[in-house]
Structure 1
């Protein structure tokens, strides 16, 4: 097994609302190695241990809150203009709506809203953000959450959708020199950085779903994997009143450490950019500091379930632990010893479904 240098080799547990553990795992090896649960499930993590990179290498800007307050205030100056257009499908148990609303800069953002066809309103809702370079996909994709009784809004990330699943939302904002991909678009300043627009769109997605008449605005959770996990974590730190958060192998956490340790995936774009722009590490990292999941985690209070694979070279597990440690609300982390960026895969979905059922109380 390979290991991230910042990962402590022992297990941990999450903390519940009363300060105690949310779950306990019998599989922690007392000799300092990560053990597997007796039932084959994930390991958990113990807040009493001190791994080398538990706190991460991230330094938060002093004006972080002012930056995001100004950003969201500017977005609030644009009308939401929510539109739900029914989509004809052969599905008998799920209805699909083509969604449009206005995000950062008043730009139109698209999404799918899927809801149970036979439902008792108002519904609990799950807002999902997808992985890197992917789009909202086809109306018949992503039927898990509506099949479980939730309204499910899947945001189309602006400018993406060229891989894995198609997208239709453009990013009309230009940018300066950037490494191929999205991680360095507009990186010269926080005000122009790509993820400032994306995170604002994501906050507005929660506002959109809360304003839909069929949805209970008090019962909303957010989920995401990889890039989607990083976006969901930002939303958890920016949006009050969320009921639950699930983050699988989140991107954009402890970015300085991730750039140095990731062996594959989007962080290598930042390393490639800095390999060419040798004089710009300080300015680049100063921009990225406004978008690091550690800062958002410190401000989040909704109960959260994290997941990471110890063999993940895309989002190194030490970066997930750094965000987990910083998280301000009740939390649990599932640690998958022999998995990479997929983390727990469908087992993580089982965890999310059970957690959201308890927190959002969907109709039977």
Structure 2
């Protein structure tokens, strides 16, 4: 894809009005209240990995509807002190895979919880969490239950993601006052949602975030997942009003407006999957509805010649250094 049709100057000013339902906050309060009424941890058992420098556990926690959600918990071996935690959310069509597949955060010294995506595994990665809630909609995860916000797949997935933060705080060896959420693409959109729903996070790191400025994204993006919504509407021509209403309850811009934690963003200007303007819509409105005396710190890294892959390893290094500066400012300033 060529560069964004909007210049970087235009993107830095792009702040669309999102169709936010009047009961947005009540909808999510009720959804989360129902989930949090249950104990969060279901099962935690050691997982052999043959990685001598790390310890891993197979975690099951109660997500939306009390459904069992799987996760990997990994941390440096032999470290007794409580560690700051990173909760990571996977991309669209991915599952949690195997515990040795994502090691950046535990190798960097964090307690790391990688959440499985309910019902999505099999397209790009393995997983073992089911999504047992059926409802009218299309054949793809982004269209499951799309005719009603209460039935929508992302209501369940976002609830799982909030519960993952509760789960990591209940695990041994975690400093519950220092929890960060991280994600790329769908995971980045989910991380923004959690940032808008959990008000005591230490930080949020999101790259190429999905689920942002969704009406516009569906109009301008052909690849999946946004293209799957367009393909659904191409067949179900009378469903457009219901679809836009459902999507308005999960738009990342609305969550970003409510966020209070420091935020680190990354966007490739040639991204055709999650168009750059949609990520900038969340960045430019981040924290604006949080009612804080001082707005949360935020930082954007732009990669002009990259697409959905963004800055890859270069960006990860920037994430590591930024998060260290947030959690250990005295150490970072001295080095």
Q: TM-score normalized by structure 1?
A: 0.86
Q: Tell me the distance in 2 between the aligned counterparts of 1:334 and 1:81.
A: 36
| 1:203 matches 2:162 | yes
Q: Tell me the distance in 1 between the aligned counterparts of 2:308 and 2:191.
A: 17
Change (3 A) 1:260 1:332: same
1:355 is displaced (CA, Å) by: 1.5
Q: Tell me the distance in 2 between the aligned counterparts of 1:263 and 1:273.
A: 12
Off by >3 Å, runs of 4+ in structure 1: 361-364
Greater shift, 313-322 or 236-245, is seen at: 236-245
Structure 2 residue runs without a partner (length 5+) = 288-295
Q: Following superposition of structure 1 onto structure 2, how do residues 1-364 of structure 1 map, counting pairs within 5 Å?
A: 2-5=2-5, 7-10=6-9, 50=13, 54-56=14-16, 58-178=18-138, 180-328=139-287, 329-361=296-328
Greater shift, 78-87 or 353-362, is seen at: 353-362
CA contact (8 A) 1:128 1:228 kept: yes
Tell me how large the CA RMSD over aligned residues is.
1.7
SS in 1 for 2:128: coil
Structure 1 residue runs without a partner (length 5+) = 12-44
Superposed CA offset, 1:275-297 (max 9, x none): 11112211110110000000000
Aligned length: 323
CA contact (8 A) 1:4 1:261 kept: no
CA contact (8 A) 1:56 1:318 kept: no
CA contact (8 A) 1:109 1:156 kept: yes
Q: For CA contacts below 8 A with separation 6 or more, give which structure has more relative contact order.
A: 1
Superposed CA offset, 1:88-141 (max 9, x none): 121111011000110000000000001000214111100000000000001211
Q: TM-score normalized by structure 2?
A: 0.93
CA contact (8 A) 1:175 1:186 kept: yes
CA contact (8 A) 2:121 2:127 kept: yes
1:57 is displaced (CA, Å) by: 5.3
Superposed CA offset, 1:240-267 (max 9, x none): 2111111010000000010011131200
SS in 2 for 1:10: helix
Is the helix fraction higher in 1 or 2? Answer: 2
Q: Tell me the distance in 1 between the aligned counterparts of 2:278 and 2:307.
A: 14
